[in-house]
Every structure is written in structure tokens, then in C-alpha cells.
A and B are shown apart, each in its own frame.
Chain A
Amino acid sequence: MATQHSRSVARLMMAPAVVLLLGWMLVPLTMTLYFSFKKYLPLRGGDLGWVGFDNYVRFVSSSSFWPAVQATLVIVGGVLIITVILGILLAMLLDQPMWGQGVVRILVIAPFFVMPTVSALVWKNMFMDPVNGLLAHLWRFFGAEPISWLSEASMTSIIMIVSWQWLPFATLILLTAIQSLDSEQLEAAEMDGAPVLKRFYHIILPHLSRAITIVILIQTIFLLSIFAEIFVTTGGAFGTRTLTYLIFQRVLESQNVGLGSAGGVYAIILANIVAIFLMRIVGKNLDA
């Protein structure tokens, strides 16, 4: 509700952000589309002409395509499940009265501040190294044979590392949401004779649904494009090649820009499917 004048001013004020993002979206997108229809090998002859949908067909029919899609989904899904479940438990724990709550909160948030390259390196070498890693020591202490994490349990390892980075975020959002729960509601349920589990299921969980949606949304945005964690640890080997990483390899390692661009278009389509789905949910939440 406002005047004509303020509406036109508003449009003017939004213009820089909108124009910049539109450019940021359209220019590279158009170029990617353009390259995706070309045979383009910068180090082996450059632009070798139009090839129609060749790159698209080759990218999908490549034996690495479906495993990459699967790896992407497994990592995103795995991290989401772990962070949401542990996040809820942790948030409920942190919501309890205790001494030194502030310090504990800082300890829990800290992994979020660690840059992905650092956390990947530290986990890879100091924890997951099959000889000198701390986990190997731990395994030996219990008399078990140390695992060479990143080759034998590569997916689990990456999911562990990424979950460690994102658990703080999930916990914090869910904690904030739990703290906003009206304690009278819980007390009323207690008066009505609802046991602890029922109270969790019927009152706490529905109250958290919005926060959980937000956690899933924001994490998915970031998780779909995780790169450094794989770049530093397995380099895409041992079945951890995500779609992002596959395209990266096509473009920069094998210098096949046309093929990589076609892959990029697929990735964009995939991301948009996820985006549409998520935007619906967020759109609903925006009104609330």
C-alpha cells in the first residue's frame, strides 16, 4: 500500500540488484547454452563447429553420468537426514537449563566457521588417514583393523565431513525455533496427560516444521554445489564424483568445454527442478 510515487521509486531502488543478478544469470547461461551445441576443445583446436545435440547425448550416455547423479543425491540426502535428525536432538538438548550454555553453543557452532578446504584436509589427513589418523588410532585401541576411510568408505566419509560442517547451522536454526515455542502449550499437553514422546510428536515437531523446511532449503542450495570437500579429499575417485565434480572435470581437466557445458545445462535443469519444488514450500512460508 503506497503511492504511485513511492512505487516508481521502489522500482528504481530494486533495479541495480535485479539487473546485476539478471546479467549474472543470463550472460553465462547463454554462453553455456552456446558452447553446449559446439565441439569446443580449447587446447586441441578450439572451436570445431556445431554438433547439434551430440554433447547432450554423449554426456548422458557416458558411463559416469548416472553414478554422478546418484552420488549427488546420496550426499545431499544423507547430509540432510543426518543434520536434521541430529540437529533436532542437539537443539532440544541445548534448550535445557544448564551451566555454560553460551560456551557450549559456541563450541557447537564453530565448525561452520571453518573453511571447507580446511575441514576437508584436516578430516582427510588427521582423522581418516589409515595409518596415522586419529580414527585409525581409535580403531586399533579397540582392537579393530583401521579403515582406509576415503577409499573403502568414501561416501560415508564425505557425508560425515559435510554433516560436521552443516550440523551447527541446522542446530542453531532449530534451537531458535524451539526457544520460540510457547511453554504453556507444552504444559497444557502435560496437563492433558500426553507422554513425552507424544508431546514431541504432536507439539514440538509441528512447531519445528517451518524451521526444518528452512534448514532443508538453505542446505540443499549449498550442498548441491559442494566442491572443495571432494576436490581436496578424493578428487572425485571412489564413487564420490558428483555431478558438479563431473562437469568440473570435463571442462577443466579434459578441456572439453562443449561436453562440460552440456553437463552444465543438465545440472542447471536438475537444480531448477529442486528449486521449483523448494520455492513452493518457501513461498508458502513467506506468507506466514
Chain B
Amino acid sequence: MARAVTTRRKSLNTILAWAVGLLIFFPILWTILTSFKTEAQAIASPPIFLNFNWTLENYAIVQERSDYMRFLWNSVIIAGGSTILGVIIAVPAAWAMAFVPSKRTKDILLWMLSTKMLPAVGVLYPIYLLFIRLGLLDTRGGLVVVLMLINLPIIVWMLYTYFREIPGEILEAARMDGATLKEEILYVLTPMAVPGIASTVLLNFILAWNEAFWTLNLTAVDAAPLTAFIASYSSPEGLFFAKLSAASTMAIAPILILGWFSQKQLVRGLTFGAVK
């Protein structure tokens, strides 16, 4: 917009937006602050904001009670594994849909998305049963496969929308230049789609990280990721605010940090490639 905005107006906007932004962020901020308080300070009335004795003891206690690193490692493996596997399967499919569209492409894409609407709970028991039969219950491999499958439609969809932005002529040029299909995808399409693929990977990593139906129902001990770690605080430990906060901070910190550093790709990914 080529219009000068008065400083007054800009200041007003800034104050309002920051106020709203901080209000929305407040629960997270409050959790992080509380994690450094003692239990007494955490429930003090009136609430204490900053002038308390900062302490790390809650983190120590949480770590002692449950081995954080093991849950963290499970989360990384499950979210990372399902995302990578999903992308490997989705890239060829999205290539086909974006560059060799047929009359049925749209139907297939919509059908894929509709599998995402299948209520997980409707198929919980069969999956549970299959997992027992196949010995996948409480294994990371099993969860990698399940989370890959539930996110696959979104990965395909996102890659498809990103690929569609790449002009087909460039791929045809590669074909004329003698590239085989593998070379075309490897040397031309993938490098050009790196920003889109990065956004897709990030978003799906986060979705898988936060997934809390299958991860809660299909794990017990060995493969339990951070969602299970935190769910164990639902009661009565939840009444110990400081420890609850420490555990919560530990569960969300990796994603918050990741989100902070990859802001740009993430913002793009968060729109699911649906809006430019």
C-alpha cells in the first residue's frame, strides 16, 4: 500500500496487536514462568508474576519421576520417521497429480483427503487388534506407520499444491534435455520445490508430534512419546502446578524452538499450501 500511515495510527495498531498477541500467548508464558517457581509460589494468592525465586528443582523432579529423554527420543523417532516416510511416498504421487493430471486426479485427491475424515475411533479396535496380532503394539515402528498413514493425505495435498506452482514447461524442458523421470524429479523438481517440501515436512512433523489419539492408545511404556509423558500428569499430579508446568514446558519446548527458527517455512506450511 503506497499510502503514508500516521505515526499515531501505527502506534495504536502496535499497542492493540501486541496486547492481543500477548493475551493469546499468555497461557504458554504463564506455564513457562510457573515451571521456575516453587509449588507454594505457584499457587500463591494473588498470583506472582516475576518476583519469585527462580528455581530448576521442578525440572529435576520431573526428570527423576519419568525419564524425559526416553519420551523425547520416542517423539523424535515417531514424528520424524512418519514424516520422512510420508514424504517419500507422497512425492511421486504428488508429481503424478500435478503434472500428469487426468480426469480422475481431482477425485483421487478428494478421496485421499476424505480418508482423513474417517473417525479414528471408528477403527480403533481393529487397529488395536491388528497391532497385537502383528506384535506392533507399543512399538515405535507401528506408530510410525500409523501416523504416516493419517498424515499422508495432507502431505500429498500440500506437495500437490506446491508442485502445481512449478511450471510444467520446466519439466518438459528437462525431458527434452534427455533427463529420465528419476533425473527429472531428482535434479529439477525437488530442488525447485525445496521450500514447499520444507514447509510440508515441518508442519507434518508438528502434527505427528502433537498427535494424541493413536499415540495414547497404542503405546504403553516402550514407545510412549511425550504426549503420553504429559498425559500421566492429568491427575492428581496436575495439582502440583510447578511440576506440571515443568513437564509441559519440556513437552512443548522442542516444537516451540523449532517453530521459532523455521518461522517462514512454517507460516507457509500452516496454510496447508491452500492459500497463497
- Check whether chain A touches chain B (CB < 8 angstroms): yes
Binds A, one of B53-61, B135-143, B191-199, B233-241: B233-241
Residues of A near B239 (CB, < 8 A) are: 125, 129, 132
CB-defined contacts of B256 to chain A, threshold 8 Å = 110, 113
A96 adjacent to chain B (CB < 8 Å):
yes
CA A172 to CA B275, docked complex, whole Å: 10
List of A residues within 8 angstroms of B210 by Cβ: 113-116
The closest CB in chain B to the CB of A112 belongs to: B270
Quick one: which of B21, B226, B255 has the most chain A CB within 10 A?
B21
Residue in B46, B118, B272 whose CB lies within 8 Å of A218: B272
- Smallest CB separation, A183 vs chain B (Å): 5
**Which A110-146 residues sit within 8 Å CB-CB of chain B?**
110-119, 121-127, 129, 132, 134, 137, 140-141
Check B90–A17 contact: CB distance below 8 A.
Answer: yes
Is A35's beta carbon under 8 Å from chain B? yes
Answer whether residue A204 sits at the interface, using C-beta atoms and an 8 A cutoff: no
A237 CB-CB contact with B under 8 Å: no
Pairwise interchain contact B252-A225, C-beta atoms closer than 8 A = no
Partner of A137, one of B27, B45, B152, B234: B45
User: Which of under 10, 10 to 19, 20 to 34, or 35 or more describes the interface residues of B?
Assistant: 35 or more
A14 located at the interface, meaning its Cβ lies under 8 Å from any Cβ of chain B in the complex: yes
- Report how far A272 CA is from B116 CA in the complex, Å: 11
A203 close to B (CB within 8 Å): no
Measured in the bound complex, the distance between the Cα atoms of B181 and A99 in whole Å is: 48
Give the dominant DSSP class at A's interface.
helix
Complexed CA–CA distance, A282 and B210 (Å): 26
Q: Which residues of B contact A177 (CB under 8 A)?
A: 275
Interface residue B30 (Cβ < 8 Å from any Cβ of A) = yes
Residue among A29, A113, A221 with the most chain B CB within 10 A? A113
Contact B234 A107 (CB under 8 A): no
B186 within 8 A of A: no
Tell me, rounded to whole Å, the shortest Cβ–Cβ distance linking A100 to chain B: 7
A13 within 8 A of B: yes
Q: Could you say which residues of chain A place their CB within 8 Å of the CB of B118?
A: 25, 29, 268, 271
Per-residue contact bits, chain B 5-43, to A (CB 8 Å; 1 contact, 0 not): 100011001101110111011011011001000000001
Do B267 and A109 have beta carbons less than 8 Å apart? yes
Q: Decide if A244 is an interface residue (CB 8 Å cutoff).
A: yes
The one of B28, B89, B226, B263 that contacts A16, using a Cβ cutoff of 8 Å = B89
List the one stretch of A59-67, A74-82, A163-171, A192-200 in contact with chain B.
A163-171
Q: Mark B247-276, 1 if CB is under 8 A from A, else 0.
A: 010011001100110010011001110111
Who on chain B is nearest to A6 by CB?
A: B100
Are B96 and A107 in contact (CB-based, < 8 A)? no
Besides the known contacts A31-B123, A102-B263, A275-B117, 11 further A-B residue pairs in the complex with CB atoms under 8 A apart = A10-B99, A21-B115, A21-B153, A100-B18, A109-B266, A110-B24, A111-B25, A113-B259, A134-B47, A260-B124, A264-B119
